[in-house]
Amino acid sequence: MSVDTATVAKIASLARIKVSEPELEAMVPELNGILAWVEQLGEVDVSGVEPMTAVIPNTLRLRDDVIDADPLTGGDKRDAVLANAPAAEHGFFGVPKVIE
Amino acid sequence: MSTYRIQGATGDWEVVIGLEIHAQVTSNSKLFSSSATAFGAEPNTQVSLIDAAMPGMLPVPNRECIRQAVRTGMAIDAQINKWSRFDRKNYFYADLPQGYQISQLYHPLVGEGSITIEADEKAGIPEDKVIGIERIHVEQDAGKLMHDQHPTMSYVDLNRSGVALMEIVSRPDMRSPAEAGAYVSKLRTILRYVGSCDGNMDQGSMRCDVNVSVRKPGEEFGTRTETKNVNSVRFVMQTIEHEANRQVDVLEGGGKIVQETRLFDPNTGTTRSMRSKEDAHDYRYFPDPDLLPLVLDDAFLEECRASLPELPDAKRARYVGDLGLSAYNAAVLTADVDTAGWFEALLSEAASAQGKAPAEVAKQAANWLISEFFGALNKLGRSLDDSPVSHEQAAELLALVGKGTISGSIAKQVLEIMLETGDSAGAIVEREGLKQESDTGAIEAKVDEILAANADKVSQYKDGKVALFGFFVGQTMKAMQGKANPQVVNEILKAKLG
Amino acid sequence: MSDITDLGVAALRDGVAAGQFSAVEVAEAFNANVAAAQDALNAFIVVTPEKAVEAARAVDAKRAAGEALGAMAGVPIGMKDLFATFGVQTTAASHMLEGFVPQYESTVSQKLWDAGAGMLGKLNLDQFAMGSSNETSHFGNVISPWRRPDGKAQLTPGGSSGGSSAAIAARLAPAATGTDTGGSIRQPAAFTGTTGIKPTYGRCSRWGVVAFASSLDQPGSMGRDVTDCAIMLEAMAGFDPKDSTSLDLPVPAWTASLSADMKGKKVGIPREYRADGMPAEIDAVWEQGIAWLKDAGAEVVEVSLPHTKYALPTYYIIAPAEASSNLARYDGVRYGLRDLPDGAGLQDMYAATRAAGFGPEVKRRILIGTYVLSAGFYDAYYTQAQKVRTLISQDFARAFEQVDVLLTPTAPSAAFALGENVDDPLAMYLNDVFTVPASLAGLPAMSVPAGLDAQGLPLGLQIIGRPLDEQGVLNAGLAIESRAGFTAKPGKWW
């Protein structure tokens, strides 16, 4: 599978990364080089093989339903949550106005 | 078979409806963090570093959320998947801090199930209908955007971010707004019975994504639109009506339906295309590498099953079969878990107060609750939740009637006083001297007086105008200030009038 | 006594405990080395001499009070700038997180402070740990303290934990944290004549570590020798209920159980690692390693890992896919850079912020990852890669039925010059050819220095162990270390 400028532009838009036209042009051969290389995986016979789910056999632990059980994973810390915000007002994060 | 049709210029159109319902799981803390879930907190106070997607933060799932989703699945007779996984749904939006929602696409927790909506002739549902449920999966809720606080900015509140939702996906099995409404109501009933969701649609605890398409009967499914976040049964029905009619207009006008996301406007009852979702989505789902497969053991499933309450369909059948209630009363009393709970508490108190089996007092209790008490509460603008009369107090009132201490009509008076004062029925009857008179002597004396005063009517009665019997009963009761035992009055009158 | 900064973790800790020198003296000595080398080597993004001294004071006070001292007491370390540190800027070497000051401490760094370690500063790395040469940092390249005899070219300290490896090699820190996704601890260790171990996936908590590829990322320890790495790893490892992938197992007493005796042990030599065109010097050092392990009593046998050649392409699907999603949170809303062009809407802000905040290699990987997950390609790329990953893991499982550990070179070459590979991403990726397979299988693996090449640059050997068998890895490492007698260090030119 090889990508063209239009595809790369679409991927960049999906990934929300603005790219200029020259950047786009430069990326196409780079990405095609990498994609062509990873596509050698297609030659591996994987019939009957399950995709990896956990590298070390392990299943999901479930935690107890306790509010703020660990302060590190709990709420009630608005100042900490907003401390690094580029725009915080009245306890909210501010973003450019969104029209839904 | 639903006969609901949109009458278009080119003939009748059938509507095909599928619903995706997001139900907030009842839990103290969020799905993947331990911050609180309570409704109405100050902005961003119920937000953990995890919910705000700080660098390096990781999710750890809440057992209770999984348990509630499993119990819900069991309540709709669904397949429970002992092996499931969380996937990431990737997209960018200001209410989605991680840039992805942790959801379940490939291996949901709950598989195929169904619920039955009941026949409702008036609503155009001629017979009971089974609506298929494709799956229930567990996922994170997003935060909330507010657009009105600032001229050029929207504000983000992440309190809801990470709250657990069950997404309950129906099959496209509904064919009319009424069926969809009944489905939402029934699902809400079940969720509230199970206790997995409080069903508060006005607080957003249940939101519906409404998928609507139209087709000529017998043809293939048409292209559907999805109207997001509709938050009441009525709005769901309005959405369908409007959307179906709009689609018919478009198709008959030679246009095509665009598969798109739409928004319902409750003020106008119409839907419109959603600008912010215009971007054709490619969610790039893949298994969340921060989480391992969720494997449930038999003990967990057993606990889930054992903790399920009697469900609405079973309860309704029992009310009719074992308690002898009418189908209507049984339906009314089982429609909400709180009503059924209140009724059963009343029933048990009333039975023991009267020394009878519950089945013997069930009709009395059901009739009183539905025809007397609901109306009285309604007048006060109250519900069973905040009823000033407890079920113990109500049982005492019913026992007074059951034992013949007061008549049904006096009971109405007593209830009014109870609602006003909060006093017990017994105390009111005592204080107001409302005890029913069963003393044959006193009643006989009054009957004699009345018969004497109405000699003309007595002779008319004897000439065959038997309908006058009611007049004599009424007069006697009036003379006795309503306190005479109606049965005794009847007997004496019958004897005297021959 | 010579210079304090010539001592490693064990010697410093024991020296402080014995009162040979105070923890504050140690901290100040290393602080001085850090300050002196910063302009030349650029190993740190932020230096925190006051933190090092503060922790040292606490240790000295504890010792004075006769209290028990932790396993890392009095040892100042470098912290890779991928670990969130409370109140200290944490950037992942990106412009995106420049100025970001976490209000939380990563589990691993907290454990180290609890064990008595102090922080010299936040170490430079490849941006978001994506790179093998430390040339993708927004804060500039890290320069290896090693040089070729002509001294002309600046060499790479490896990556992504290049600040860590450079700092240890240049005696700016006795030890440092690293993280390893596809070789980011082992390859820099090999390039700088230092030692580093990546434990079994799940041994060390990832909580508070800026994520690159969640199913591969694993913190580990880097130091001057095997014993130091064992001591530090013991302090870092352990179950963390905040990380769903953390292993709920006790931490073995690795240090106490260290043994260079390989009698009765079988060492596997994976046939497929004998890559075509492998430099003779790499081959030679590998042969030397085999001889050392035989000398230590081990039986050496050839094994086969048939899917080895697919490991790198598998990695370059899975890691970018996970990264494309993990890095979606950098959107300019809650923290970090925000680029809001005039009149821009929300989505424009995202695109502008991410264009300005991510470097070229990060963007490249995000785009690859986005592409391989996108509609229509998911199964062909991602699902296929996860299946091949299963096969790679099964290859190892089969090999470990026959042998206890595997021995391979760590990297296909010695350190290369900065700029040499930057224009060819694929050539750069090939650096991780020997380290990536163990990462894909979540296995413990370490690099130990084995010798110098003809240019006088260090070469490393890699030991890969069974899941959870860090002990076997450390012991084999010790067997090599005690025979290699590697004492070379870069001449001080900065």
| C-alpha span between B21 and B180 (Å, rounded) | 11
List the single range of B433-437, C119-123, C327-331 with lowest mean pLDDT. B433-437
Neighbours of chain C (3+ CB pairs under 8 A): A, B
The crossing angle, in degrees rounded to 10, of helices C470-484 and C226-236 is: 160
Chain C residues 352-381 within an 8 A CB cutoff of chain A: 352, 354-355, 358, 363-364, 366-368, 370-372, 374, 377, 380-381
Mean pLDDT of B319-326: 97
| C-alpha span between B276 and C316 (Å, rounded) | 33
Q: Does C210 touch chain B (CB under 8 A)?
A: yes
Q: Do A17 and C103 touch (CB under 8 A)?
A: no
Which residues, including other chains, have CB under 8 Å from residue A32's CB and lie 6 or more apart? A2, A3
Q: Do A81 and B49 touch (CB under 8 A)?
A: yes
Q: Give the pLDDT score at B276.
A: 54
Chain C residues 167-206 within an 8 A CB cutoff of chain B: 206
pLDDT greater than 90 at residue B480: no
Q: Give the pLDDT score at B280.
A: 58
* pLDDT digits 0-9 by tens, B250-276: 999 999 999 999 999 999 999 999 865
Report angle CA C305, A43, C423 to the nearest 5 degrees.
Answer: 85
CA distance C168 to chain A (A): 31
Q: Does A34 touch chain C (CB under 8 A)?
A: yes
Question: Which has the closest alpha carbon to C103: A84, A69, A88?
Answer: A84
Q: Do C321 and B56 touch (CB under 8 A)?
A: no
The single-letter DSSP state of residue C209 is B
Q: What is the ipTM of this complex?
A: 0.97
* pLDDT digits 0-9 by tens, A12-60: 999 999 999 999 999 999 999 999 999 999 999 999 999 999 999 888 9
| Residue B138 covered by a domain | yes
* pLDDT digits 0-9 by tens, C128-147: 999 999 999 999 999 999 99
Q: Do B34 and A81 touch (CB under 8 A)?
A: no
- In which element (H, E) is residue B268 found? none
Number of separate domains in chain B? 3
Do residues B277 and B223 share a domain? yes
Residue C361, number of CB atoms within 10 A of its CB: 18
Q: Do C328 and B284 touch (CB under 8 A)?
A: no
Q: Do A72 and C314 touch (CB under 8 A)?
A: no
Do residues B84 and B166 share a domain? yes
Query: Which residue range is the domain that position B161 belongs to?
Result: 6-300
| C-alpha span between B393 and B423 (Å, rounded) | 9
Mean pLDDT of B124-139: 96
Residue with tokens 């370690």: C117
Mean pLDDT value across chain B: 93
CA distance B100 to chain C (A): 7
Concatenate the DSSP letters of all residues of B196-230 into one string. Answer: S----GGGTSEEEEEEEEEE-TTS-----EEEEEE
Token representation of residue B383: 């519900």
Do residues B23 and B58 share a domain? yes
Q: Give the pLDDT score at C35.
A: 98
Number of separate domains in chain C? 1
Positive or negative torsion for Cα B176, B177, B183, B189: negative
Name the closest residue on chain B to residue A57, using Cα atoms.
Answer: B292
Question: Which has the closest alpha carbon to C185: C82, C109, C39?
Answer: C82
* pLDDT digits 0-9 by tens, B63-99: 999 999 999 999 999 999 999 999 999 999 999 999 9
Q: What is the dihedral of CA C450, C451, C454, C458, to 10 degrees?
A: 80
Compute CA distances C64 → C11, C13, C491, whole Å.
19, 15, 37
CA distance A83 to chain B (A): 11
Minimum-distance CB partner of A86 among C338, C354, C386: C338
Query: For residue A54, which residues of chain B lie inside 8 Å, CB to CB?
Result: 292-293
CA distance C12 to chain B (A): 31
Q: Give the pLDDT score at C178.
A: 98
Most C CBs within 10 A among B50, B57, B88, hence the mutation to make, goes to B57
Q: Does A66 touch chain C (CB under 8 A)?
A: no
Contact between C492 and C169 (Cβ < 8 Å): no
Query: Which residue range is the domain that position A25 belongs to?
Result: 5-42
pLDDT greater than 50 at residue B114: yes
List the single range of B243-252, B454-463, B477-486, C416-425 with lowest mean pLDDT. B477-486
Query: For residue B47, which residues of chain A lie inside 8 Å, CB to CB?
Result: 75, 77-78, 81
Q: Give the pLDDT score at C369.
A: 98
Q: Does C156 touch chain A (CB under 8 A)?
A: no
| C-alpha span between C383 and C341 (Å, rounded) | 39
- Domain CATH number, residue C273: 3.90.1300.10
Mean pLDDT of B180-189: 97
Q: Do A73 and B156 touch (CB under 8 A)?
A: no
Q: Give the pLDDT score at C424.
A: 83
| Residue A25 covered by a domain | yes
C422 band by pLDDT with thresholds 50, 70 and 90: confident
| C-alpha span between C124 and C101 (Å, rounded) | 16
Do residues B361 and B271 share a domain? no
Mean pLDDT of C313-334: 98
- Domain CATH number, residue A24: 1.10.20
| Residue A35 covered by a domain | yes
Q: Give the pLDDT score at B464.
A: 87
| Residue A26 covered by a domain | yes
Minimum-distance CB partner of C84 among B56, B98, B291: B56
Which conformational region is residue C92 in: left (phi greater than 0), alpha (psi within -120 to 50 degrees), or beta? left
Neighbours of chain A (3+ CB pairs under 8 A): B, C
CA distance B54 to chain C (A): 8
Report angle CA C93, C95, C99 to the nearest 5 degrees.
Answer: 90
Q: Give the pLDDT score at B279.
A: 53
- Domain CATH number, residue B448: 1.10.10.410
Most A CBs within 10 A among B35, B64, B89, B100, hence the mutation to make, goes to B35
Minimum-distance CB partner of C371 among A3, A18, A60: A3
Q: What is the dihedral of CA B398, B403, B409, B413, to 10 degrees?
A: -60
Q: Give the pLDDT score at B478.
A: 87
Q: Give the pLDDT score at B278.
A: 46
Q: Do C244 and A61 touch (CB under 8 A)?
A: yes
Q: Do C92 and B55 touch (CB under 8 A)?
A: yes
Do residues B103 and B172 share a domain? yes
* Final residue of a structural domain among B432, B452, B485: B432
Q: Do A27 and C334 touch (CB under 8 A)?
A: no
Query: Which residue range is the domain that position C10 belongs to?
Result: 1-494
pLDDT greater than 80 at residue C217: yes
| Residue A36 covered by a domain | yes
Q: Give the pLDDT score at B479.
A: 86
Q: Do A67 and B28 touch (CB under 8 A)?
A: yes
Burial of residue B488 (CB within 10 Å: 0-12, 13-18, 19+) is: buried
Mean pLDDT of C65-75: 97
Mean pLDDT of C160-189: 98
C1 band by pLDDT with thresholds 50, 70 and 90: very low
* pLDDT digits 0-9 by tens, C440-452: 999 999 999 999 9
| C-alpha span between C370 and A89 (Å, rounded) | 33
Contact between B167 and B21 (Cβ < 8 Å): yes
Contact between B187 and B201 (Cβ < 8 Å): no
- Catalytic sites of C, residue numbers: 80, 160, 184
Q: Give the pLDDT score at C2.
A: 62
Kindly provide the b/e burial profile for residues B226-239, where b requires at least 16 CB atoms within 10 angstroms of the residue's own CB: bbbebbbbebbbbb
Question: Which has the closest alpha carbon to C18: C58, C56, C74?
Answer: C74
Number of separate domains in chain A? 1
Minimum-distance CB partner of A69 among B27, B34, B44: B34
Do residues B396 and B460 share a domain? no
Do residues B182 and B263 share a domain? yes
Q: Give the pLDDT score at B466.
A: 86
Token representation of residue B339: 């009503």
A78 band by pLDDT with thresholds 50, 70 and 90: very high
Contact between B139 and B102 (Cβ < 8 Å): yes
Question: Which has the closest alpha carbon to C44: C160, C184, C155, C162?
Answer: C162
| C-alpha span between B434 and B410 (Å, rounded) | 7
Residue with tokens 């939402």: B184
pLDDT greater than 80 at residue A99: no
Q: What is the dihedral of CA B396, B399, B401, B406, to 10 degrees?
A: -60
Query: For residue A19, which residues of chain C lie inside 8 Å, CB to CB?
Result: 355, 363
Q: Do C241 and A1 touch (CB under 8 A)?
A: no
Q: Does C241 touch chain B (CB under 8 A)?
A: yes
Mean pLDDT of B224-232: 94
